[in-house]
Each structure stands twice: as structure tokens, then as C-alpha cells.
Amino acid sequence: MDSFIAFRKYLHDQHEFTKLIVSLFYPFTVDELLRYKSKLILGSISVFNYQMSESEAQEFQDDDEISIKYGLLFNSYVNWNDNTVLNIFNLTSNKYSIKYSDHAFTLPLNKDHIKTFETQQNEEDFLAQWQELYNVEYDLLVEACEKLGIINYTCDLSGKIEGPQILVDYLKDQIEPMRQELRDCQNYNKSLLDTRYSEVITSQLNLDELSEYVDKDGLFYLCNPKLWSLTISPFIDRSTLDHIFIQK
């Protein structure tokens, strides 16, 4: 096993990693929160909206609709019911409302909040894509009737074409591949989401093993709390906190 000194030095050197994971998991006292307030990573959740300012929009990359910054607001070891704690960070309550959104969560934020939020956003995105596909299907229906010389056709109560059979077969050949592609995309997206939220670290790590995870995001650490409890927390004390949040 790597020496205590070597491990402590590694955590000091990996400043950004240690700062993030400490913000996520360390059981800060009120005095410590006051001491490190200006250096702690607080965290936030934002939803893209065309009404937001230019500076707010800069948080978002490419076509992302959600911007999540992981930090202290996700720390379940902080007493967010304590008004003193809330006042330190200029919070009026332990309810975290997401600007430009109907969503509000009770602090601390957690990975389940994020997964629910992301799942809902994905469902809304795919619903819009299905609606767009329905519009394409209607255009194909008009095109097929003209091409096949069909004047009348029958539908069931849901609007599904029932006849004539030549029209049913034509539309199936044209539309089904597009529907299947969208279904496959939905399933793949869900699989990726489930994978992101899975726990992969279940035991204590040595330095070589830890080095594989220091560049992960906050969500990965929230989904793998044993990284903190078994590997990191034994090396975190007041001197390490001062090094990370004050001396660095």
C-alpha cells in the first residue's frame, strides 16, 4: 500500500480533484464553512433559455440544454436545514429553484435529482422528434397517395392507415425504418444514462488506480461514494483543507 505521506502529497498536487471531491463529501462544520467559504465549489444547475443573459449562456456547451456544476450544494454531510449555513451562502431557504424552469429541489442536491431532471429533458427532446416524424409521415402519406393514384383510404381510431393494403405496405417500407432508428436512438440514450449513473468503485484504491479517476466529473464521484469514504477521506484533515482552500 502507498505510504500515507505519498498519498497526502498526491492529493495536494491534484488540487482541482481534491477541491471538488472535498466540496462534495467533506462534513464541514459551520466554522469550516466560514473559513473556506470563498474557495469552496458551491455548484449550480441551470437550464438554457433564450431569455438569459450572454454571461449565463456561456455556461452551456454546444447544444446542451442543462448546465450542471457539482459542488457543495450536493454535499449531504452539510446541514442545509441550519439557517446559519444558508446565510453563509446567501441562501434564503433549503429549496433550490432552477431559473427558467419549474423544477425545485430540497438541498442537498443529489444524483437522483439530476437523473430525474435529465430523463425528463430527454423525454421532452424525443417527444419533439416523434412529433417531427409524424409531420414527415403525413407528407409521405400525401406523396404516396399521389404516386399510387389513391383517392380514399381508411384509418382506425388512432389514425393508423388500414387500407388499401398497397398504401399500408408502401408507408411501412418508408416509415418503419425511420421509426426504428428513433426507437434505437431512444434506447441507446437510456442505456448511456443508466451507465453514467452506475457505481463502479467498490473498494479502496491505490495511487495508480486513483489516478485513473481524478479527471472525472462530479457526477461520477456522486455515483461512487466509496471513492471518498474508502480512499480519500482518511487523508483529509485541517492541514489538507488549508492547503487546498487557502495556501494553494
Cell of residue 187, nine digits: 434506447
Query: Rounded CA gap, 34 and 87, in Å?
Result: 10
Query: Rounded CA gap, 230 and 119, in Å?
Result: 30
Q: What is the pLDDT of residue 214?
A: 94
Query: Rounded CA gap, 15 and 136, in Å?
Result: 52
Q: Supply angle C-alpha 239, 241, 242, rounded to 5.
A: 65
Query: Rounded CA gap, 167 and 228, in Å?
Result: 61
Radius of gyration of the chain (CA): 26
- Phi and psi based region of residue 149 (left: phi greater than 0; alpha: psi -120 to 50; beta: remaining): left
Amino acid at 149: G
Other CB atoms within 10 A of residue 110 CB? 16
Query: Rounded CA gap, 227 and 237, in Å?
Result: 17
Q: What is the mean pLDDT of residues 70-95?
A: 92
Q: How far apart are the first and last CA of the chain?
A: 27
Q: Is it the case that residue 75 has pLDDT exceeding 80? A: yes
Q: Is it the case that residue 67 has pLDDT exceeding 70? A: yes
Q: What pLDDT digit, counting tens, does each position of 6-64 carry?
A: 888 999 899 999 999 999 999 999 999 999 998 999 988 877 655 555 655 555 555 55
What residues are paired with 96 via a beta bridge? 105
Q: What is the pLDDT of residue 215?
A: 94
Q: Supply angle C-alpha 156, 157, 162, rounded to 5.
A: 10
Q: What is the pLDDT of residue 44?
A: 84
Main-chain dihedrals φ then ψ at residue 209, nearest 5 degrees: -70, -40
Q: What is the mean pLDDT of residues 67-71?
A: 87
Is the overall model pTM greater than 0.75, yes or no?
A: yes
Query: Rounded CA gap, 162 and 155, in Å?
Result: 5
Residues, the chain, total? 248
Cβ within 8 Å of residue 128, ≥6 positions away: none
Cβ within 8 Å of residue 83, ≥6 positions away: none
Interaxial angle between packed helices 165-196 and 111-148, expressed in degrees from 0 to 180 and rounded to the nearest 10: 160
DSSP assignments along 98-140, one per residue? PTTSS-EEESSP-HHHHHHHHHHHHHHHHHHHHHHHHHHHHHH
Q: Is it the case that residue 154 has pLDDT exceeding 60? A: yes
Cell of residue 203, nine digits: 473498494
